[in-house]
Structure formats: structure tokens, C-alpha cells
């Protein structure tokens, strides 16, 4: 009769440190398994081998070469996926600026930039491709040295849709795992999309194009018109090369052509309405991100069948606000109603996922999710919005997002229900490799670890500094 070795949790962790590696096969035995994609399993076993989920179920025959973790009292979830971040890109910081509600004021200077950028050539029109980094690839930028990854894992995240972070067309995102020996080991799929951010404000007006919201929209529209013409010219040339002048190579348009979907910023109701119409006009797959005032647009989003990425950075009173300042009524309503957006989406059948937007430590994540749950979101819908839904939105649900045989071995193992104030993450598995997040990281953020918010509409019409 074959016998398997049941290893106490602390001993397995110590052994992994001594050996410097995770065993090639690990089983979490007799745990509560939340598969997300299928039935909830109150007492089941998950077997990981060579980075993949080999087996999952209540009656698993565990072979003798498998290290076994006693899962009694533990709950196993699919690894959390951040649907929009810069995680994995070292030194990636969002440009200075705020939401659309504050756009229009003088731009704050990003660290490392010169005040006027006077030596830069003036941009006169779309032909100069201003603030366009559409061919940049997150897959070429990511690496395991990003010091935010450890804190992200301590919050239960194992993957993220990571995007470059500068300009109007920011570059091609990649779906990555949040661990690996080298950057190329982290890539799950790429490219997964092209993020757009609007750069508006009085600071750049009159200096160069585009410096207004309408200028941004006009520029984006023009680039997609140029792309259609570019594709047509290439097709014609491919069919009739003899005696025909070849079309000029356009680096920026090639980047747009390779992007499977466009991410458009839309936090307020009028922005949501505008971006739905704009995206449909462009005739390309797109999704919206932000959506704090989408409680007014639920039926519109459902009818349009547009995926939504909801920011977990709920609107609140700024910490440095004047205590004597009286907020306007709309701001107060948005602060109160924004956390209810996910529950309204879930009830209406709108496909949505969460993105961290700077909420990337365990206490912050729990607080943000609890706020949505208190506003009516079911816990199972919250889990889905961090697992299977982002995987489906980005077309990687055949690899990530649920606990199923053959999928990548990304798991979060907790003692206590996820998002419970007293729950602890005992293990995180990424590509089958075991991590034990420190209890200190789960209690609060380390110094300097706070992630930057994703830009949507900003008052910074200057370009952000490049990631080094």
C-alpha cells in the first residue's frame, strides 16, 4: 500500500527554506475548497504538480511522492487577480494628477521632471504622435525585483493585468504572475490590452497638442482612423507589390493593431455615457475602468454588454482637505453610493472585476471589499470579481481564475474566510511555488510600499517620467 507523508505546515515551510525550493508535488488535504468555477467543496484535496493543478476533489488518491499539507481549518481559493495595475514594473509610478473631477487645475510636477520641459519640441498635431507609447510592452518591462510584489502576495494576489504607465496611449498590457526567477517567467499572456489615459489641464494649454479633453478624444479617434487606412494600405501592397510604393512603417500604429482591446477611463456618469458611445464608434473591443458613479448607468452598461473594471479606491474626503470646506452634494452622494456599484452590477448581470488602484495591502483590501459587501455585494461575487471574472474579461479563463484540473497552480490558502478581519493568509502558491506571506505584511503596509493609483483623467499634460 502506498503511503504519503503528511507534513506539518511549519515544518514544510522550514524545509522549503533549507532546500531553497518548493517540492514538485504538494497536496493540501481535507481543506474547504472554493473552486469558483464549480461546486463549493467543504472537504477536499488540491494536488499541485510541476506548477499546475493536477487533481481537485473530495476523494483523491495521493501518491507517495507528494508532500501533504494538513488542510484542516483552511480554505483554498483561486489566486486573486488585479485587473489593472503596474505591479511587476519596477519604479512604475502614476503621473501626478487626480480624477476627472479635479482635472483642469495647474498640473503638479512628477518627480524627476523639469518644470516647463522647455527643451521638448512643440507638438502641433496627431501626425507627431504625442504621448503615444502604444508599442511599449509590459511583458518587456516586468521583473521580480519590484518591491511591491511581496505586499501584493500578502494580500492574496497571485496575478495581475499589468500595464505601462505614461502618456495617452500607455502601451500593451500583459497578464502576469507575481513571482518568477526572471521577468519572462512571469508572463501568462500578452498583449491583453491597450490602456488610455486622458491628459488635460490648464498647465499645458497653448503649449502643445492635445491639451484638452476634446483634444485627447479627437487624437484617439484620429489614430484609429489612421490605423484603418494603414491596414488597408498594407493589404493592398501585399496583394500588388510590383510597381507599387510600399507603405511607410508606423511603430505607434503597429502597437495599436496588436492590442486586442482598449481600456477607456470612465469614473463619472457623463464620462461613462461618453466612453460607451466613443468606444462603439471606434468599432473595437473595449472595456471601461473606474466606474464609481456607475450606479446611474447600470442598465446602460448591461444593454451595451461592456465589461467593467471597478476601482477599489472608493471616493472619500481628501486627507488634506480644508476642514471648513463644505463638499458639494454630488461628491457626498458618490462617496456614499460608489461601494454599492459592484452589488448592482452583480444583480444586473454586468460582467465586472476589481482592480486595486493603490489598495494593495491586506488590511486595505479587506476594508475595501468589506465596504462593497456591506453595501450589498455577496461574498461569492466579491471572490469571483477577484478571480474568474478578470480571467474571463482578459480571455485567460482556460488558465486562471478557478480551481480546476490542468489550470496554473495559483492558490490562496487562508485560515478563516477571505476578507474576514481576523483571517490570515497561510500560503500563497504561484505556478505551484509556495510562499508564506509574513504576518507583519498582513497587518499593515511596509514603509514606502504603497502602490500608485492608475491615471484616468489627469491634470498633467506633460509626459510622465519613464520607468527605469
Q: What is the 3-state secondary structure (H, E, C) of 294-330?
A: HHHCHHHHHHHCCCEEEECCCCCCCCCCCCCCCCCHH
The model carries a pTM of 0.86
Cell numbers describing residue 280 = 462603439
Highest mean pLDDT, choosing among 72-81, 86-95, 191-200: 72-81
DSSP-derived secondary structure for 87-146: TTSTT--PPS---TTTTTSPPPPPTT--SS-TTSPPP-SGGG-TTB-TT-BGGGT--TT-
At residue 325, the pLDDT reads: 80
CB 62 within 8 A of CB 29: yes
State the pLDDT at residue 15.
Answer: 47
How high does pLDDT run on average in the chain?
85
Burial zone of 235 (CB within 10 Å; 0-12 exposed, 13-18 middle, 19+ buried): exposed
Q: Which of 120-124, 264-268, 329-333 is least confident?
A: 120-124
Asked if 84 and 195 count as a contact pair (C-beta separation under 8 A), the reply is: yes
DSSP class per residue in 220-260: HHHHHHHHHHHHHHHHHHHH--TT-PPPPP-HHHHHHHH-S
Asked if pLDDT for residue 359 goes beyond 80, the answer is yes
pLDDT, tens digit, for every residue of 255-277? 999 999 999 999 999 999 999 99
Lowest mean pLDDT among 163-167, 331-335, 463-467: 463-467
Stronger pLDDT, 111 or 248, i.e. the higher one: 248
Residues sharing a CB contact under 8 Å with residue 437, sequence separation 6 or more, in sequence order? 150, 153, 154, 362, 425, 428
Q: Is 186's pLDDT higher than 60?
A: yes
pLDDT of residue 10: 43
- pLDDT above 70 covers what percent of the chain? 82
**Measured between alpha carbons, how far is residue 460 from residues 93, 180, 271, 321, 464 in Å?**
14, 34, 18, 20, 8
Instruction: Tell which wins on pLDDT, 199 or 111.
Output: 199
Average the pLDDT over each of 177-181, 230-234, 384-388, 453-457 and give the range with the smallest value.
453-457
Q: Which has the closest alpha carbon to 95: 445, 457, 468?
A: 457
What domains appear along the chain, each with residue ranges and CATH number? Answer: 5-73 (2.30.40.10), 80-399+450-458 (3.20.20.140)
Residue 174 pLDDT class (50, 70, 90 cuts): very high
Question: In this structure, are residues 409 and 46 in contact, taking their beta carbons and an 8 Å threshold?
Answer: no
pLDDT value at residue 326: 81
Q: What are residue 46's DSSP bridge partners?
A: 28, 56
- Provide the pLDDT for residue 11: 47
Query: What is the model's pLDDT at position 348?
Result: 98
Whole-number pLDDT of residue 289: 98
**Which of 235, 290, 247, 251 lies closest to 268 in space, CA to CA?**
290
Peptide bond connecting 191 to the previous residue in cis, omega within 30 degrees of 0: yes
pLDDT confidence of residue 50: 95
pLDDT value of position 444? 67
pLDDT at 374 over 90: yes
361 or 303: which leads in pLDDT: 303
| Average confidence (pLDDT) over 237-254 | 89
Say whether pLDDT at 365 is over 50: yes
Q: How far apart are CA 4 and CA 309, in angstroms?
A: 43
Whole-number Å distance between alpha carbons of 255 and 298: 32
Q: CB-side exposure of 147: number of CA atoms within 13 Å?
A: 9
Tell whether the model's pLDDT for residue 110 goes beyond 60.
Answer: no
Residue 187: pLDDT over 50: yes
Give yes or no for a contact between 175 and 154, defined as CB atoms under 8 angstroms apart.
Answer: no
159-173, 241-255, 335-349: least confidently modelled range: 241-255
* Structural contact between residues 292 and 317, judged by C-beta atoms closer than 8 angstroms: no
Distance CA 314, CA 199 (A): 22
Report angle CA 100, 104, 108 to the nearest 5 degrees.
95
150 confidence band (pLDDT: 50, 70, 90): very high
Amino acid at each position: 500500500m502506498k503511503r504519503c507523508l503528511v507534513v506539518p505546515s511549519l515544518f514544510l515551510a522550514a524545509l522549503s527554506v533549507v532546500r531553497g525550493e518548493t517540492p514538485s508535488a504538494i497536496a493540501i488535504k481535507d481543506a474547504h475548497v472554493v473552486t469558483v468555477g464549480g461546486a463549493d467543496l467543504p472537504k477536499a484535496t488540491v494536488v499541485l504538480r510541476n506548477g499546475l493543478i493536477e487533481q481537485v476533489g473530495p476523494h483523491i488518491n495521493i501518491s507517495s511522492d507528494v508532500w501533504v499539507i494538513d488542510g484542516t481549518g483552511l480554505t483554498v481559493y483561486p489566486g486573486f487577480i488585479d485587473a489593472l495595475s503596474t505591479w511587476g514594473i519596477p519604479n512604475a509610478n502614476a503621473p501626478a494628477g487626480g480624477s476627472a473631477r479635479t482635472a483642469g487645475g495647474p498640473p503638479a510636477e512628477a518627480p524627476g521632471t523639469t518644470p516647463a520641459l522647455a527643451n521638448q519640441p512643440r507638438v502641433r498635431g496627431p501626425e507627431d504622435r504625442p504621448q503615444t507609447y502604444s508599442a511599449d510592452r509590459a511583458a518587456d518591462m516586468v521583473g521580480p525585483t519590484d518591491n511591491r510584489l511581496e505586499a501584493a502576495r500578502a494580500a492574496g494576489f497571485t496575478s495581475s493585468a499589468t500595464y505601462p504607465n505614461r502618456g495617452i496611449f500607455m502601451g500593451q498590457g500583459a497578464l502576469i504572475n507575481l513571482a518568477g526567477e526572471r521577468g519572462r517567467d512571469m508572463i501568462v499572456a500578452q498583449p491583453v490590452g491597450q490602456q488610455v489615459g486622458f491628459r488635460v489641464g490648464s498647465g499645458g494649454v497653448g503649449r502643445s497638442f492635445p491639451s484638452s479633453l476634446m483634444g485627447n478624444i479627437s487624437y484617439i479617434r484620429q489614430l484609429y482612423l489612421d490605423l484603418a487606412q494603414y491596414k488597408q494600405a498594407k493589404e493592398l501592397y501585399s496583394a500588388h507589390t510590383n510597381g507599387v510604393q510600399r507603405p511607410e512603417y508606423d511603430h505607434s500604429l503597429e502597437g495599436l493593431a496588436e492590442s486586442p482591446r482598449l481600456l477607456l477611463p470612465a469614473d463619472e456618469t457623463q464620462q461613462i455615457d461618453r466612453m460607451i458611445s466613443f468606444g462603439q464608434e471606434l468599432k473595437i473591443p473595449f472595456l471601461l475602468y473606474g466606474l464609481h458613479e456607475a450606479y446611474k448607468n447600470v442598465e446602460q452598461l448591461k444593454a451595451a454588454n461592456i465589461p467593467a473594471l471597478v476601482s477599489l479606491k472608493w471616493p472619500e474626503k481628501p486627507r488634506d482637505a480644508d476642514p471648513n470646506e463644505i463638499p458639494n452634494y454630488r461628491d457626498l452622494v458618490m462617496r456614499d453610493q460608489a461601494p454599492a456599484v459592484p452589488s448592482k452590477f452583480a444583480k444586473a448581470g454586468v460582467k465586472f472585476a476589481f482592480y486595486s488602484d493603490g489598495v494593495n495591502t491586506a488590511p486595505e483590501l479587506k476594508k475595501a471589499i468589506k465596504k462593497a459587501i456591506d453595501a450589498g455585494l455577496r461574498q461569492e461575487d466579491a471572490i469571483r470579481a477577484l478571480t474568474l471574472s478578470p480571467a474571463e474579461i482578459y480571455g485567460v479563463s482556460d488558465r486562471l481564475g478557478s480551481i480546476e484540473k490542468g489550470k496554473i497552480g495559483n492558490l490562496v490558502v487562508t485560515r478563516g474566510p477571505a476578507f474576514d478581519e481576523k483571517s490570515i493568509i497561510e500560503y500563497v502558491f504561484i505556478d505551484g511555488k509556495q510562499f508564506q506571506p509574513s504576518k507583519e505584511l498582513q497587518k499593515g503596509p511596509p514603509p514606502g510600499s504603497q502602490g500608485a493609483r492608475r491615471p484616468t483623467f489627469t491634470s498633467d499634460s506633460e509626459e510622465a517620467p519613464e520607468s527605469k
